[in-house]
Amino acid sequence: MSCLRVMVVHRASRMMLGNPQSSSKTKSLSYHVMLEKGLIHPAGRGLFSILPLVVFYISGKFFGQRVIDKLVRLIEEELNAIGAFKMCMPSLGAKELWRNVGRWDKIGAEIFRVTDREGKEFCLQPTAEEMITQIAAQRGLRRRTMFPFMIYQTTPKFRDEMNPRFGLLRSREFLMNDLYSFDISEEDALKTYRIVSQAYNHILQDTLQFEVHVVRADNGQIGGAVSHEYHLPSTSGEDSIVYCEKCSKGINAELARRHEKPCSECTEECLKVIPSVEIAHTFQLGDLFSKSLGARYQNVAMVMNCYGLGIGRIMAAAIDVLSPDQNSLRLPDAICPFKMAIIPPADSSKIDPELASYAISLAQQLDSTTNLHNEVFYDDRTDYSIGKRLLLATQLGIPHIAVVGSRVANLFGCRPMVEYFTVKSHQADPIEVGILSHKELFELVEYM
C-alpha cells in the first residue's frame, strides 16, 4: 500500500514566533537573537528551554525545534553513512563505574552528583566512556567483522558551570552527539579516527560551510594520547586558538599557555591568535578504559576513540558568525528554520480575491515538491502589511521569499507572478531579485 505524504504548510498565525518583550542585556549576539526570535527561553541560571519556533500538530506529531532537529538529522545521517549505530544510554552514571578508571575523583565541582534513597551515589554524565566500555565488555564484540565498532547517541549532558553565560554557548544542560569507537589495534584505531574526522569535516565544512580550524588540544580529564578541537572563528567566542599561517596548523589556548607551538618550524612572526568557539572535540584514548573495564577481543584490550559535537553550541556559534545584527537571525541553509516564505496580500489592500487564493495554492504546490516539503512558511497574518511581513521573514533568516502583492496584481490577469527576494548571511536587508512567473519560480525550486 502506498503512503500518502501529508501536506505541511506552516502558517505564521499558529506559531510561537519571537518575544517582543525580550530585554536581554548580553554581549553575546547569538544569545540575544535566540531570545528575540523565540528559539530559546530561560528556565533558570544556565538552563534553557528549546522553543518550537513553530507550533503545528498533524498526524500525532509536533513539528518543533526545527533548527536543532535539522542539525541532529544531518549529523546522524553522516554518522550512519560511515557505519555507526545509534543508541541511548542513561544520564545517570554510578560512582562505582566511574571509579574504575579514576574519573570520579579527578572531575571536580563541575560534575553534578546525586544520591538515591539507598545512599548510592551517581553523577549526571557529561560523557559516557565508562558506560559504553562496560557494555562492550559485558556483551562482547566477538566477530572480527564487527570492527571498527562505532556507536553514538544524541542526548542531553550536564555540567555545573561556575559562570554559565551567553545562552547555549555556556549552559548547565546541553545537547551533544557523542560517538565511541572500538578497534583491535592502534593502527586500525587511527584509521577509524581519520574516518570519523573526515565525517566531521564534511558536516562542518561541506554541509554547514563553516570556516573550521582543527587544532591540537590537551586530553584533559578524559585522558588518552591525542586530541583535536574544532573551532569556529568568532569575535564573541570565549575560546581562542593559536594558528600558524605558514604551516596551516594550530593549537588551543591551553597548549599555547604551556608555550607549545603548532609545529617545530613555527616562529612568533607566523603565529596568529584567533578568538573562537569550540564546537567539537575528538580523542584517541588507547586502551585506558578498555583495560580497566575488561573490554577485550581475543584477550587483547580494545583500542578506543571518542568524539563529540556540541549541538547547541554549533547553532549558537553559527548565529554569532553569520548574523548581521541583533535583530536578524542567520543560519546555514542546511539548518535554517524554513527554506521558503510566501507572503499573501494584506487585508487592507483592495486586490482581486483570486490573488489571495493563488498565494495559499502556491504554498501548497511548493510544499508538494521534493525540495520544499515541510519547508514552506506561509505568513497569513494579513492584518500586517506586506512590508512588515517581508521584514519579519528576513529577520527570521528564511533564504527565499515570494511576495504575492500589489506589484504583481496588474500582471495576474495574464499569468501568475510573484516578487522574489533572497536573504543572505551578513546582510540585514532582503535582496530583490525581481518578478518571476509561476514557471520560473518552480524552475528555481529545483536547485534549492
CATH number at residue 389: 3.40.50.800
Q: Are residues 135 and 230 located together in one domain of the fold? A: yes
**Calpha distance 359→319 (Å, rounded):** 31
Give the C-alpha separation, 67 to 39, whole Å.
9
Please state whether beta strands 417-422 and 57-58 pair in parallel, antiparallel, or not at all (unpaired).
unpaired
Banded pLDDT at 288 (limits 50, 70, 90): very high
- Are β-strands 121-124 and 92-94 bridged in parallel, bridged antiparallel, or unpaired? antiparallel
* 372 and 444 part of one domain: yes
Give the pLDDT confidence of 182-195 residue by residue, as tens digits: 999 999 999 999 99
Per-residue confidence at 23, pLDDT binned at 50, 70, 90? low
Mean pLDDT over the full length of the chain:
88
327 domain residue, yes or no:
no
Q: What is the mean pLDDT of residues 12-18?
A: 67
Strands 400-403 and 340-343: parallel
Q: Are residues 389 and 305 in the same domain?
A: no
The answer to whether residues 168 and 121 belong to one domain is yes
Write out pLDDT tens, residues 100-144. 989 998 887 889 999 999 999 999 999 999 999 999 999 989 899
pLDDT exceeds 80 at position 52: no
pLDDT at residue 62 above 50?
no
pLDDT-derived band at 227, boundaries 50, 70, 90: very high
Q: 414 or 198: whose pLDDT is higher?
A: 198
Q: Give percent of the chain above pLDDT 70.
A: 91
For the ranges 132-136, 249-253, 350-354, the lowest mean pLDDT is seen at: 350-354
As a whole number of angstroms, the distance between CA 116 and CA 132 comes to: 22
Domain boundary among 272, 289, 322: 322
Give whichever of 170-179, 257-266, 341-350 has the largest mean pLDDT.
170-179
Q: Point out the domain boundary residue: 297, 322, 347.
A: 322
Angle (CA) 14 18 21, round 5°: 125
Whether residues 364 and 427 fall in one domain = yes
Please report whether residue 368 resides in a domain: yes
Q: How would residue 64 be classed by pLDDT, with cut points 50, 70 and 90?
A: very low
Which segment, 25-34, 340-349, 351-360, 401-410, is predicted with the most confidence on average?
A: 340-349
Pick from 294, 322, 350: which residue ends a domain? Answer: 322
pLDDT on residue 4 = 52
* 261 within domain boundaries: yes
One domain, residues 393 and 317: no
Residue 276 and residue 268 in contact, taking contact as beta carbons nearer than 8 Å: no
Q: Are residues 381 and 300 in the same domain?
A: no
Q: Is residue 157 part of a domain?
A: yes
Asked whether residue 128 falls in the same domain as residue 212, the answer is: yes
> Which band of pLDDT confidence, cut at 50, 70 and 90, is reported for residue 56?
very low
Buried b (16+ CB within 10 A) or exposed e, 385-408: ebeebbbbbbbbbbbbbbbbbeeb
User: What is the reported pLDDT for 34?
Assistant: 81
> Is 263 domain-assigned?
yes
Q: What is the mean pLDDT of residues 66-70?
A: 90
Is residue 16, in this structure, part of any structural domain at all? no
Do 401 and 279 fall into the same domain? no
Q: Sorting pLDDT into bands at 50, 70 and 90, what band is 166?
A: confident
Axis crossing angle, helix 29-36 with helix 311-322, rounded to the nearest 10: 100
The least confident of 133-147, 152-166, 215-229, 299-313 is 215-229
When pLDDT is cut at 50, 70 and 90, the band that residue 6 belongs to is low
Q: How many CA within 13 A on the CB side of residue 161?
A: 18
Q: What is the pLDDT of residue 154?
A: 97
Query: Per-residue pLDDT averaged across 207-225, rounded?
Result: 86
Range of the structural domain that residue 397 is part of: 338-448
Domain CATH number, residue 311: 3.30.930.10
Instruction: To the nearest 10°, report the CA torsion of 252, 208, 323, 29.
Output: -40
Residues 310 and 403 placed together within one structural domain of the fold: no
Position 376 scores a pLDDT of 96
398-435 per-position pLDDT tens digit: 999 999 987 777 766 667 889 999 999 999 999 999 99
Query: What are the residues whose beta carbons fall under 8 Å from the beta carbon of 62, sequence distance 6 or more?
Result: 52, 55, 56
Enter the C-alpha cell of residue 386: 506586506
The band of 221, judged by pLDDT with boundaries at 50, 70 and 90, is low
Residue 252: all three cell numbers together: 588551543
Is 31 among the domain residues? no
Closest CA to 390 of 352, 357, 418, 365: 418
Higher pLDDT, 447 or 43: 447
| Residue 47 within a domain | no
Residue 409, φ and ψ in degrees, nearest 5: -60, -40
Contacts of 231 (CB under 8 A, 6+ apart): 212, 213, 214, 215, 237, 239, 241, 250, 252, 274, 276, 277, 278, 279
312 and 345 in one domain? no
Structural domain count, the chain: 2
pLDDT at 65 over 80: no
- In this predicted structure, the answer to whether residue 57 has a pLDDT above a threshold of 50 is no
- Same domain flag for 146 and 257: yes
Most confident of 43-57, 161-175, 408-422, 434-448: 434-448
